[in-house]
Structure 1
Amino acid sequence: MNLVPEPLRGYQRSWLARDIIAGLTLSAVAIPEVMGYTSIAGTPIVTGLYTIIFPTLIFALLGSSRLLVVGADSATAAVLAAGLTGLGIAGVTPGSPDWLAFAALTALVCGGLLIVARLLRLGFIGDFLSASVLIGFLTGVGIQVLSGQIPDLLGIPKGKGGWFEQQWHWITSLSSISPGTFAFGLATIVIIQLFKRFIPVVPGAIVAVVLLTSISALADAGAHGVAVVGAVQGGFPPIGLPSGLSWSDVSKVLPTALSCSVLIIAQSAATSRSFAFKHGDAVDINRDIVGLSGASLAAGLSGTFVVNGSPTKTQILDEQKGHTQLANLTMAAVVLLFTLFFTGLLADMPKAVLAGIVFLIGVSLIDLPGLQRLWRRRRNEFVVALITAVTVFAVGVEQGIILAVVLSLLDLVRRQYTPGDFVIGQNQAGEPTYLPALPGTQSLPGLVVFRYDAELFYANANRFADQLESIISAAPDPVRWVALDCGAIDDIDYSAGVTLANLVNYTRARHARFVLVRPDTRLLATLRAYGTLDAIGEDNIFPTLADAFHAYRAGSSLAGDDSAPGPEQS
């Protein structure tokens, strides 16, 4: 039995130094980043550090991805905060012990749901959020995240109510800006952007934290109206179930945990797959779900909130030439040491510094290039992305996830309901030509070869039949052959099988022959089980388009007809 974790199998000694350096660099980026995510999740700062200790360790042992970095994430943190706020339970307020207990419980339930997803092999769920929907969703999260940091950047109280009310509150409170707070927040943004622009190998966030926290301590900024983090209780992560909760509380966090689970599968699968393909590695999404479920359970049992695969931190690890999860284990070890011995250094850190870090994280989530590409190339999908984004920041993140799933499924149904359909002809060289399937189009005089680029099922069967009937009835010449190109039809449900049998009867009533072209063995077996193949006839099956055209021409020649060599359209 091989006890070596899958991501570490085949490890080469030459990778060791690079993995350790990559892990050290990653920890310098991840420490301020995950502390910033706690302002989104509404949990104590130290809980952000906890998300990249045991959850990272468990994923490294159980997952399959060599590079995927697991830890706190802005999107899942926003979903968590929105869900817990929606509970409306007295005492469950951001930063309170009860809030943290419910956050940990959500992580445990999320881990359980991911286990169920793995047992049912539901890794494909990640494929049901289209790229346009994900662009819109993450853009909406980015707008919500960055706008939520503006009050802390300005040093003014946060407003109540919905998103628009909160924005109006800070806009009308600009006269109350704290100059010192704003200076620290602005300096954070400038430092990070300058390092990103001119010295990208140095993590600007860690430079901003160290430099501005030192300035704050020397100037005693906390005594001059600048809000600081204050004492941070470090130490080893607490191990155990969240206290003060019961089994009845599981149902309260179930919707939030379900939303997080869908997002985790979708985002982590996309990240893991993209980096695996880049390096020629195998992809095992279901195995990654095992690692992600273990990571969420570890988060819930170590006093922190739900974790996710991080595209930004994974990109950093890849840029630093990390090879395996050993780099992530190095990061976890560094963070554990920091949590045990150095959290006291954070006491004088201005809250505006964290707000500046998170503000830029929100900016990075707004995918303007992706939206521009959709606008230029696919306007209808741009509208879908825009609707999703507005729903996320204006209505709620959970509602945005529900809408994202619904829109993705509706898009899938739309594509199956209205696929491409063509009438296929042949040019002088005998190569197939494709014309839009419009009434009056035919392949040859008396021949219609119809291609429908989708599987046939109950929802699109009648549209398929209506389309083919309109082509047959409007053909310039009396139709003697109707050929269905099955190259894109792998399966057919019973309702569509009945519709197809009716089409066979329709063509025969018009004294025409109905044939199948390029059906695979699975489709033939299904049609045989329905009895539809008996109605069509085994002799009316052709393996290629060329065979069907040749057979039709041969039959037409015997009948004394001079068929034209190419497609015709009235």
Structure 2
Amino acid sequence: MATPHREEREFPLPILQGIVPIKRSSLPTEVLAGLTFACLAIPEVMGYTKIAGTPVVTGLYTILIPMALFALFGSSRHLVVGADSATAAITASALAGMAVSGSSEYLALASLLALMAAVLLIAARLIGLGFLADFLSRTVLVGFLTGVGIQVATGEVPGMLGIEASGHGTLAKLQGLIQHYDQTSWPTIAVSLSVLVVVIGCKSLSPKIPGPLIAILGIIFCSWTFQFSAAGVTVLGAVSGGLPALSIPDVDWNWALFKQLTPTALSIFVVILAQSAATSRAYAARYEDKFSENTDLVGLGLANLGAAFTGTFVVNGSPTKTEMVASAGGRNQIAQLTTVAIVLVVILFLTGPLAFLPNAALSAVVFLIGVKLIDLKGLAAIYRQARSEFWIAVATAGVVVLIGVEQGIIFAMVLSLIDHTRRGYHPKNAIIAQSPDGGWHISPVTTSNQFKPGLVIYRFSHSLYYANTQRLSDEVASIVNRADPKLRWFCIEASAIDDMDFTAGYSLRNIHGLLQSKNIRLVFLLVEPDVRKELDRYGVTDLVGPDAYFDTGSDLIKAFQHQSKSPA
């Protein structure tokens, strides 16, 4: 293992995992990434307040305390936690009939949902649900991020054209775009194209040039100077400032209210768990980093506690914001902490200039981010190397685009589980045969190779459970029936078997009975200690005897040859 660079330092406590070790030479890049991200995220999170139905300033509050808490207590070096369209939409849908949108009562209920989600996330950590992230394969992650990219990019097209977005979902927005194309604003298109040209041009010159930052600052200055709003270009408008008040949600604390909000809180919890885990895993794979699902659960829970106690709505791990930071060169949570510091300054002193930011400029930048999330190279690689998994990735992307992000993630989890079950159901088992030089080699199960006359070594290459025990029984019967010469020993090489269920034990007892009826002895090679305990518990050892287990191939061969020389 390579020794750490001398500019890096380790931190002994189980916090700051997304920050340390710190490489001093990369600090300027991280700070610049945080500055760039702030310019992009500030208008975006204020836009999410329209979805959630909360005051505009609450969008800034989702960055201030929640993002800082996750940066300090989460493990992912890349995941950005903040306002998210999926959880904002779930919040608005649940609270629509409970209070007037934008009212103090409505905001208190939104904060209560954040508190309930936080409790569920921390409880999930205590009972160890972080493992759920392991059910997302690399294939479905490529499809997931591609679907998110298509959804994000498509959703920004109306804003780039100056058309009022209508409907929810990709298809609804496209339909609204077609129906209202006559509302296209040429000044708005000019703003969008200007931003696209600046961002793409800067990137073509050098990836280190902060194109989005230059574009956003430039367009704010031009909007202020030339009064874009007078030409029909919509801008953000006035944004109120001031720090949030620390308090618990001001609601009527009763069982009926919690009962009413619990299904929504559970839905939000599932979306946060799945989307955050998927995003963390995707970026950890991209940059060859490690992360802990359980530690991230704590970080996400604390972030939502911060949201609840500062009067804002649910926060979530965001693939869009994560890509914003990654695109700007951010490689750890220092970039996010820089953004927090900038937002603090903006809330206190600089909300005024944001009023001049054209909505189309934001749409153009987010459009480019969405396009970058579309991983065509990854899909092409999967297509060349694993055609069946390519269709899984495409299906995942399709569900994200056509139905929604949260449904796409759940669909991805189901597909991953099905793919895992399929592989376990149809393992690539083999016969171990002897090479001419005395070595060992693998042969297909369909061959009639015997290691020694009368001895077959059959390798089962997966855990034994209810879905593949029939395959085990069928292959054993087939090998025995076509054996020539007649078998005396049947050995199961079990090095790949790391678990067995009750059905597997039942099947092995039946296999022993079949072999015994043909005067064939059942033995085992390379059985793991835990699997041996399961064989003992399921009664298999009582049938085959404790001397039927061999730790090495040479011990097996010696025992077989000794038995062959013994008188019948």
TM-score when normalising by structure 1: 0.86
Structure 1 CA distance for aligned equivalents of residues 495 and 20 of structure 2: 44
Give unpaired runs (5+ residues) of structure 1. 561-570
CA deviations 1:424-447 (Å, max 9, x no partner) are 112123332112222645444432
2:210 to 203, 213, 228: 203
Residue range with higher mean Cα deviation, 35-44 or 246-255: 35-44
1:497 to 489, 505, 508: 505
Q: Percent identity?
A: 35
- The answer to whether structure 1 residue 405 and structure 2 residue 416 are counterparts is no
Structure 1 CA distance for aligned equivalents of residues 13 and 554 of structure 2: 54
Tell me the equivalent position of 1:7: 16
1:219 to 217, 221, 226: 226
2:277 to 236, 260, 265: 265
CA contact under 8 A between 2:233 and 2:358: conserved in structure 1?
yes
Q: Find the residue that maps to 1:487 and give its secondary structure.
A: coil
- Written as runs of structure 1 = structure 2, the 5 A alignment for 1:46-65 is 46-64=57-75
Gap change, CA 1:198 and 1:384, over 3 Å in 2: same
Q: Find the residue that maps to 2:158 and give its secondary structure.
A: helix
Structure 2 CA distance for aligned equivalents of residues 334 and 438 of structure 1: 67
Tell me the equivalent position of 1:565: none
Gap change, CA 1:515 and 1:253, over 3 Å in 2: same
1:307 to 316, 319, 327: 316
Tell me the equivalent position of 1:164: 171
Q: Find the residue that maps to 2:436 and give its secondary structure.
A: coil
CA deviations 1:177-210 (Å, max 9, x no partner) are 1001111112222211222221322321121111
Residue range with higher mean Cα deviation, 118-127 or 307-316: 307-316
TM-score when normalising by structure 2: 0.86
Report the alpha carbon displacement of residue 219 of structure 1 after superposing the two structures with TM: 1.6
Report the alpha carbon displacement of residue 31 of structure 1 after superposing the two structures with TM: 3.2
* 2:553 maps to amino acid: L
Report the alpha carbon displacement of residue 235 of structure 1 after superposing the two structures with TM: 2.0
Q: Find the residue that maps to 2:236 and give its secondary structure.
A: coil
- The answer to whether structure 1 residue 359 and structure 2 residue 367 are counterparts is yes
CA deviations 1:266-324 (Å, max 9, x no partner) are 4335545765x55xxx754423322222112212333143132764356468x4676xx
CA contact under 8 A between 1:33 and 1:357: conserved in structure 2?
no
Report the alpha carbon displacement of residue 131 of structure 1 after superposing the two structures with TM: 1.4
Q: Find the residue that maps to 1:52 and give its secondary structure.
A: helix
- The answer to whether structure 1 residue 89 and structure 2 residue 100 are counterparts is no
Residue range with higher mean Cα deviation, 256-265 or 357-366: 256-265
CA contact under 8 A between 1:82 and 1:398: conserved in structure 2?
no
- The answer to whether structure 1 residue 150 and structure 2 residue 157 are counterparts is yes
Residue range with higher mean Cα deviation, 494-503 or 296-305: 296-305
Tell me the equivalent position of 1:376: 384
Structure 1 CA distance for aligned equivalents of residues 440 and 336 of structure 2: 53
- The answer to whether structure 1 residue 487 and structure 2 residue 499 are counterparts is no
CA contact under 8 A between 1:78 and 1:397: conserved in structure 2?
no
Report the alpha carbon displacement of residue 462 of structure 1 after superposing the two structures with TM: 2.1
1:451 to 446, 449, 459: 459
Gap change, CA 1:78 and 1:320, over 3 Å in 2: closer
- Written as runs of structure 1 = structure 2, the 5 A alignment for 1:141-540 is 141-160=148-167, 163-242=170-249, 246-247=257-258, 248-269=260-281, 271=283, 278=289, 284-302=292-310, 303-308=312-317, 311-312=322-323, 315=326, 319=329, 328-438=336-446, 440=448, 442-540=450-548
Gap change, CA 1:160 and 1:95, over 3 Å in 2: farther
2:122 to 112, 115, 129: 115
CA RMSD after TM alignment = 3.2
Structure 2 CA distance for aligned equivalents of residues 462 and 138 of structure 1: 38
Gap change, CA 1:3 and 1:412, over 3 Å in 2: closer
CA contact under 8 A between 2:169 and 2:401: conserved in structure 1?
no
Report the alpha carbon displacement of residue 211 of structure 1 after superposing the two structures with TM: 0.6
Structure 2 CA distance for aligned equivalents of residues 363 and 352 of structure 1: 16
Give unpaired runs (5+ residues) of structure 2. 1-10
Report the alpha carbon displacement of residue 108 of structure 1 after superposing the two structures with TM: 2.8
Report the alpha carbon displacement of residue 517 of structure 1 after superposing the two structures with TM: 0.3
- The answer to whether structure 1 residue 134 and structure 2 residue 130 are counterparts is no
* 1:449 maps to amino acid: I
Residue range with higher mean Cα deviation, 48-57 or 401-410: 48-57
Structure 2 CA distance for aligned equivalents of residues 69 and 10 of structure 1: 12
Alignment size in residue pairs:
547
CA contact under 8 A between 1:213 and 1:349: conserved in structure 2?
yes
Residue range with higher mean Cα deviation, 195-204 or 141-150: 195-204
Gap change, CA 1:9 and 1:448, over 3 Å in 2: closer
Structure 2 CA distance for aligned equivalents of residues 106 and 470 of structure 1: 59
Gap change, CA 1:6 and 1:400, over 3 Å in 2: closer
